[in-house]
Amino acid sequence: MSFLIKDKNFYKVLFSITLPIAAQNFITFTVSLADSLMLGKVGEIALSGANLANQLFFILMIITFGVTSAAMVFASQYWGKDDIYSMKRVITIMLRLAAFISLVASALAICIPETVMSWYSDDLEVIEAGASYLRIIGWAYPFYSITNAMASVLRSAHVVKISIVIYLSSLIVNVSLNWVLIFGNLGAPELGIRGAAIATAVARVVEFIILLIYLAFFEKKIHYTFRDLFVPVRDYLGAFLKTGVPVVLNEAIWSIGTSALSMIIGHISTEFVSANSIANIIWQCVWVVVSGMGNATSVVIGNSIGRGENKEIILNKAKTIVLISAIMGVISAFLLMIIRGPVINFYEVSAETKALAYDLIVSYAIIIVFQSMSVQYVVGIFRGGGDTKTAMFVDVFFLWTVAIPLGALVGLVLGWAPPFVYIMLRSDEFLKNIMSFIRLRSGKWIRDITVHPIEEN
């Protein structure tokens, strides 16, 4: 394996970014787990309602991630060039877009929650429960989008620890208020699913406040201020849109596709929805490190291109990362199989749902090996390298042309067992890896996409 990078600093930088992001992801996962476990004690209607209601948040999260990822492509390369002026302009574009998108999502959640829920379920009780959740949580979407976008783009400058502070504080607030408001402890009213929504909304506001305090008093690398929100950005907008639109479209189309998978599951059975919700929580538990490395890869590759490193060195870095991710995928699959029993037994759901979740994890374990590599290709290597059009094509083409039609066929028409339906719903992961490997070897994804307008006085 002559391509393996021998420079210890490469691994040091990669994992110094990966591990804090993984810690942040684990904290976020813990919040989801706490919500799921507590709502599971309320009942399967509440659990399914919140899970399906959060599909709108999932779409918002993914599109925000797309805008942020587009900004990180530029920010990472500008950081490698030590061009803070241009980096701040890109951040401004990102924050304006994130605010607009989140306001649209808020309007949907607050104004037509029943309509949104009807996209995912035919069960009137689940629709009613989910709608009550959306009416509350919708107010918090803008706080989430701005906080997440800014905390994420700071990683381009290797600022990662603040994310842990933000999301650890959010965890404490969210879980504490869940315990109080879902079950009516400490004299509070017993609000069930609405209590979970209030707890999450308050936690989002706390995250936002902590971010503002950090930017105002502690951030020393970029020095982004409130005034920067209003600076002219037209010199950067064209390049941002050319590279960024494919990323945003990628995440939007992918999130809608993934949401379509949830629609298919929702129309098969409520038990499948609950079991998949439980299986997804277990998957998130082991996914945090792999996901963290995807984001770190984008930064490492972008910084390397910005510094003008030799293409062969950048290509070898990418190959080394894919090998590491394959090993991590195998380890993650084994971990899924080990922890599935203890975690599933925490849930107070029917025996049928528990058995289904137990079997679903086998399907998740098979898929995660391929997901571990594809996330490095799409999110890390191709985007970090500036080749966002290839990343978009690889990520969405097979999802819409293979996975969704095949999953709908075997699940809704042929009536296959849920574990086999799930494998068909994620069958795009196998094909994505084949096409990505071919593109990786070509080296054509390595691109410097930065622009350098003359600074204003």
Between CA 44 and CA 128, with CA 39 as vertex, the angle to 5 degrees is 60
Query: From CA 90, how far away is CA 76, in angstroms rounded?
Result: 11
* Residue 347 · residue 40 · CB < 8 Å: yes
Return the closest-CA partner of residue 26 out of 279, 204, 288.
Answer: 288
Q: Quote the DSSP letter at residue 453.
A: P
Q: What is the signed CA dihedral for 228, 229, 235, 239, rounded to 10 degrees? A: 120
pLDDT tens per residue across all 457 residues of the chain: 778 888 889 999 899 889 888 888 788 777 777 777 788 777 778 888 887 888 888 888 888 888 898 899 899 999 999 999 999 999 999 999 999 999 999 999 999 999 999 988 888 888 998 899 999 999 999 999 999 999 989 989 888 889 889 989 998 999 999 999 989 999 888 888 899 999 999 999 999 999 999 999 999 899 999 999 999 898 898 888 888 889 888 888 887 888 788 889 888 888 888 888 888 888 988 888 888 898 899 999 999 999 989 999 999 999 999 999 999 999 999 999 999 988 888 777 788 889 999 999 999 999 999 999 999 999 899 999 999 999 999 999 999 999 999 999 998 899 898 999 999 999 999 999 999 999 999 999 999 888 766 554 4
Q: 94-104 burial, b for 16+ CB within 10 Å, e for fewer?
A: bbebbeebbee
Q: Are 74 and 247 in contact (CB under 8 A)?
A: no
Residue 369 zone, left/alpha/beta (φ > 0; ψ -120 to 50; rest): alpha
The residue type found at 66 is G
Helix axes 234-266, 418-425, angle to 10 degrees: 160
Q: Cα torsion for 148, 101, 386, 375, to the nearest 10°?
A: 60
Predicted pLDDT at 53: 86
Q: Indicate whether this model's pTM tops 0.75.
A: yes
- The ranges assigned to domains in the chain are 8-442
Give the separation between CA 123 and CA 46, rounded to whole angstroms.
Answer: 12
Give the pLDDT of residue 328: 94
Residue 213, H or E segment: helix 193-217
Alpha-carbon span 148 to 383, nearest angstrom: 19
Helix (H, G, I), strand (E, B) or coil at 83: coil
Q: In the prediction, which pLDDT does 457 show?
A: 40
d(CA 416, CA 423): 11
